[in-house]
Each structure stands twice: as structure tokens, then as C-alpha cells.
Amino acid sequence: MSRLEAKKPSSCKSEPLTSERVRATLCVLKGILTSSYGPSGRLKQVHNGLGGCVCTTSHSSALLSNLPVTHPILKILTTSMQNHVSCFSDCGLFTAILCCNLIENLQRTGLTPTTVIKLNQQLLRLCTSYLKSESCGCRILVDFSRPQTLLCLVRSIVTSKPASMLTREETDHISALVLRAFLLTIPDNAKDRLILGKSIIVPLKGQRVLDSSVFPGILLEMSEVQLMKILPIKKSDAFKVALFCASLSGDLSDTGEGTVVVSSRVSLENAALEQLLNLGRQLVSDHVDLVMCQKVIHPSLKQFLHMHRVIAVDRVGVAVMEPLSKVTGTPPIGSLGSISPSSYGSVKDLCPAKFGFKHFLHLIPNEATICSLLLCSRNDTAWDELKLTCQTALHALQLTIKEPSVLLGGGCTETHLAAYIRHKICNEPESILKDDGCTQTELQLITEAFCSALESVAGSLEHDGGEVLTDMKYGHFWSTQAESPSVVNWPDLLSRCGCGLYNSQEELHWSFLKTTRHPFAPQTCLPHEATGSANNLTLDCFTAKLSGLQVAVETANLILDLSYIIEDKN
């Protein structure tokens, strides 16, 4: 029964951004995001008052998908960020905070949206072209012969997710595992086109994080009883595998649109079973050692195979079919009839394995790009976060292989970029002003808003009440311990910049991020030895960050451009 309700008229609000309520909610959202940002970010506990699971996180995708957002403007913002995260996994919070900052700062300038958007777009273009250029001072080219850079990247990602609750030792362990898992997915003999394999994350809760490990091949989870049935496995140098995607349960296939008349003497079940047993006989005579089926295997066939010492595993599910076919090196079989010998695959070894309380059948491939990452964690929420973190890191590594460069992390890219833009606009404003009808003052206002938005993203990395500073040579980001004395010798108080590339013992001058300073040209072109020697850099994924920057500016422009919200309230 549907209930009829009177239709409510649609509501139409003009100039949505000027409303106090919108500003307040935007501010709250920004507060939530800012406080979760970075390695020292605070965790958020998202739960429903009525019960259900509790989610402790600081990860943007978990946070944004759980936040109940009602206002259309905020909805645009959060969906935009979620879409970004689903594309790149990383840099979600960076994007969201930057977008909030931009909206706030640009609104405060009080200029017309047209000018704001036009200039914003120009500044963005300046940023992207600088970041992509050769002379960029915050980008490092990745040298794949030295895994150090990649390890730094992974470690930065793992440390920036504090909700996984890792100790330092655990962080190192997990980072190394993730990198190993990734390297296992790279094929040995890459031709012109590199096709990466897949790392499957296998959950194992209630174990120490340090028990996590990586295995080549696939771990198929099964009950102890099942495993005992399989044992003992006869030993041979290679195992012949038949992988079925067709059902082996003996039901009839599609018989078409017409009717099929079966006379009473005929039993189709028997006929189908007979066909299955024929298949079984063929498998046995072909010396198949392992039969795996995506769907169900008929118990009689299973029994038959078991009698002939053929291992039968059914209901593996569609998700592992692709990795399985890669591991065995053969496409799945879709026919119940005669099988050509070429359809069989093989694995190098087959062994039972027990981790914690779980039993697995481990398929070890001859050579394949599939590996299993066994992730252990003490509790559910930490495991969920750890899994997200590992996925993010793996994805970031994949993106890095496509575009082999990384950006300096720890806020240094942001401050450096801001310094670059300030300098550029101060010295050659004509390049931007030439074709638009904007004045120099307008340009300066927007530049200030844009750069301070970038800088305050960097500033939100500091949560413990310390001072945030930038140096006047490289434009990097520095932060101090909390409660530092007011008059100090900066080089003693500061040790290293945000990304860890420079230390404070050089002859540097610092200035507070919040204060205005004279525009300076930050040093471009990173010295090669500097990047090579440094072992403990904080790095960000280049592709994700660049796209995040673009999405943040575009979304901010989109939101600033809104002048009416028409809502159907029904």
C-alpha cells in the first residue's frame, strides 16, 4: 500500500554560499577533515547510536562515505572527493581540505565568481605546468633500480594512516611486505605492454601484525576437514590442473524456447550424471591431479575423483577465477564434453598451510604475477584500516609505475608550490593578465587566497600545537615541537623539513606560514645527489596528488559558480 501525500513545492534558494548555515556546516566539515589529516591526525569514530559496527578511521574514503551530508553543496563536495578517492585511493583528505580552504578564502575576497573562476583556472594551469615541468623543485623521478624511493612512498602512506595502530617496527614490516607484494605482480619478461598481476589480500584477524606475510600464488581457504580429506598429496614435480567455470552439478543446460518431451522411461538425471562420470574418467585418464570448479561439483563425481586420488575443490567463486586462471596458466573450461589436453594448466606445488586458526591450500605457481598478502591484525577495526592502507599503497605503486615520479610529501610540495606561484605572479603578472579583463589587484587577491589555501593544507599537518614555518630558500615546510620558547635559535629547534630532504643546519631563514612575507623564488631543480642519498623521505604519489589538486580547484570553482539551488523536496 502506498500512501498518498500532498506534493511539496520545490524550494529555490539564491546565493547559497552566503547563507550562514552553509558556512557553518562547511566549517564543521573542514574541521573534521583537517583534524584527521596526516600521520599525527586524530582518529574519528563513526557509529550509529542504534548499534551496529563502530568504525575508527582517519581515512578519507571511510570518513566521507559514512558522514551523513544533507546540504546539496556539501554533497557535491563529498561526492567529488569520493569519486577522486575511488580513482586514485590516495590524497583524498588533501583534496577535500584544499577544496574547503579555497571556497572559504575565495568567498572572503568578495570578487565576482566570473573573475574568481577565471583566475583560479589560470593559477591551476600554472601549478600543473610547473609540477610537470623538468625544473620542478618538488618532484623526484623514480629510479626503479633503487627500491628505496618506492619504499619511502609506501612508508609515507602507511604512516599517514594512524588508525591502523602500527608501531614503528610494524610499519616497517608492513611497508616492506606491501612493496614485496607489488614487486611480485610485475611480470618477469615484460614486453611492450606491461600487464600487472594482482595481489590478493587474505584476512587473518586476531594475530600479531608482525605475523603478516606475502606468498607467491594463491591461498585457498578451506575447512580442516576438507583439507584432511585431500591429504596426503602425492608428490610429483608439477601438478596438472583442470579449472572449470561450467557447473559440474549435473543440471541441464538451457533447452531453448520450445518444449522438451521426455518419455517416462528416461531419467535425465542419470543421463547427466553419466555424462559427468564420463568426464571424470577422462580427467583420470589424462592424469589430472587437481580439479577446481567455480560452481558446484556433483557429490558422486567428487567421490569418484577422490577414489582416483584426484583432488577436487569446488565453489571457489567468480572472484578468484581470474587469478586462478593466471596461476595455472590456462583459461577456464566451459565444456563438459571432450577436453583437449591443451586446456589443462599446471602448478608447481600444492601444499596445505595453517596460519593462526585458518587452514589454506596453497597453490604455488611456476611463474605468475599473482601473490597473496596475508594481513594480520589484532582487532577488526584496525584490520579494516590496515587493509585500506595496503590497498591504497598498492594502488599508489601501480600509478607510480605508469608515471615514474613522486612528489615531496610532508607539506613541502604545498608550501613550495605556493612560494613559486607568489613569486611568479609578483614578477610576471602580464602572462596571466594579458587576455582576461582582470586587474592586477584582483589577481593579487586571488593569488593570496589560492596560496594561503595551499599553505593551510600543509599547516593542518600539525596537530600538537607546534609552530608551522617555511624557509626562504627552498620553500619547504617545517614544524616545531609544541610549547617551544618564544625567542629561539631556529636551527636548534627544527631538525628536518616536512619531507626530510633538508636539515636545519644549513644557512636558512625561516618565517611563520601565517605571516606575510616577501615573495621569493624557491630553488627549483632538485640536486640529484640529495634525492639519492636521503633514505627517509616522506613522499606522495604524483598522479594522485596532481589530479587531487585539479579536482579540488575544479570543485571549488563549480561550487562558487552556483547561484541557485532548486530542490525537489518530495
Partner 1 sequence: MARMVVACVSSHLRKTGDGAKTFIIFLCHLLRGLHTITDKEQDSLISKNIQTHRRHWKNCCQWKFISQALLTFQTQILDYIMDHYLSKHFLSVFSSSTKERTLCRSSLELLLEAYFCGRVGRNNHSFISQLMCNYFFKSMACESGFEEVFDLVDDYFVELNVGVTGLPVSDSRIIAGLVLHRDFSVYCPADGDIRIVIVTETIQPLFSTSGSEFILNSEAQFHTSQFWIMEKTKAIMKHLQSQNVKLLLSSVKQPDLVIYYAGLNGISVVECLSPEEVSLIQRIIGLSPFVLAQASSQYEICNTALVKFCKPLILRSKRYVHLGLISTCSFIPHCIVLCGPVQGLVEQHQDALHGAFKMLRQLFKDLDLNYMTRTSDQNHTSSPPTYKTSRESNPLPEIVSGLIQRPYQGTVVKNKGKLAKTQTYLKVYSNLVVPNVELETCIPYSTPKVTPTDTYQTDETLRCLPPTKTRIIDDSEPFIESNSANSIAENTGIEISYENLQVTKIARKGSMLPVREKSLEMCTSQSYCCSTLPAGCVLPVGGNFEILLHYYLLNHARKCQQSEETIVSMIIANALLGVPKILYKSKKGKYSFPQIYVRTLHALQTSQPMVSSQTGLESVAGKYQLLTSVLQCLTKILTIDLVINIKRQPQEMYDQDSEEEV
Which parts of this chain interact with partner 1 (CB under 8 A)? 76, 79-80, 83-88, 113-114, 117-118, 121, 245-246, 253-263, 265-268, 270-271, 274-275, 331-335, 337, 340, 342-343, 547, 550-551, 554-555, 557-558, 561
Q: Is 20 exposed, middle or buried (0-12, 13-18, 19+ CB in 10 A)?
A: exposed
Cβ at position 510, least distance to partner 1 in Å = 34
DSSP H or E stretch at residue 26: helix 20-36
Cβ at position 427, least distance to partner 1 in Å = 26
Residue with smaller CB distance to partner 1, 189 or 263: 263
Cβ at position 165, least distance to partner 1 in Å = 29
Residue with smaller CB distance to partner 1, 141 or 271: 271
Cell for 254?
Answer: 538451457
**Are the C-beta atoms of 61 and 82 separated by less than 8 Å?**
yes
Residue with smaller CB distance to partner 1, 67 or 246: 246
Residue with smaller CB distance to partner 1, 86 or 379: 86
Cβ at position 73, least distance to partner 1 in Å = 12
Beta bridge partners of 551: none
**Are the C-beta atoms of 546 and 91 separated by less than 8 Å?**
no
Cell for 38?
Answer: 596526516
Cβ at position 92, least distance to partner 1 in Å = 11
Cβ at position 422, least distance to partner 1 in Å = 23
Q: Is 147 exposed, middle or buried (0-12, 13-18, 19+ CB in 10 A)?
A: middle
Cβ at position 333, least distance to partner 1 in Å = 6
3-state secondary structure 523-535: CCCCCHHHHHHCC
DSSP H or E stretch at residue 387: helix 380-402
Residue with smaller CB distance to partner 1, 121 or 484: 121
Residue with smaller CB distance to partner 1, 267 or 439: 267
Residue with smaller CB distance to partner 1, 361 or 556: 556
Cell for 381?
Answer: 577495526
**Are the C-beta atoms of 444 and 463 separated by less than 8 Å?**
no
Cell for 3?
Answer: 500512501
Q: How far apart (Å, rounded) are the C-alpha atoms in residues 527 and 411?
A: 19
**Are the C-beta atoms of 151 and 397 separated by less than 8 Å?**
no
Residue with smaller CB distance to partner 1, 428 or 561: 561
Residue with smaller CB distance to partner 1, 50 or 261: 261
DSSP characters over 174-236: HHHHHHHHHHHTS-SS--SS----EEEEEEEETS-GGG-EEEESEEEE--HHHHHHHPSPPP-
Residue with smaller CB distance to partner 1, 339 or 472: 339
140, 116, 136, 117: which is closest to 128 by C-alpha?
136
Cβ at position 77, least distance to partner 1 in Å = 9
Cβ at position 452, least distance to partner 1 in Å = 22
The residues near 192 (Cβ < 8 Å, ≥ 6 apart) are: none
Cβ at position 561, least distance to partner 1 in Å = 5
Residue with smaller CB distance to partner 1, 275 or 303: 275
Q: How far apart (Å, rounded) are the C-alpha atoms in residues 221 and 249?
A: 22
Residue with smaller CB distance to partner 1, 479 or 555: 555
Cβ at position 548, least distance to partner 1 in Å = 9
- Which residue reads 633514505 in cell numbers? 535
The residues near 324 (Cβ < 8 Å, ≥ 6 apart) are: 218, 243, 292, 316, 332, 363
Residue with smaller CB distance to partner 1, 13 or 42: 13
Cβ at position 318, least distance to partner 1 in Å = 12
CA distances from 260 to 257, 325, 340, 353 (A): 9, 36, 30, 49
> Packing angle between helix 92-109 and helix 542-560, nearest 10 degrees?
30
Q: Dihedral angle at the C-alpha atoms of 12, 117, 435, 126, nearest 10 degrees?
A: -160
Cβ at position 327, least distance to partner 1 in Å = 17
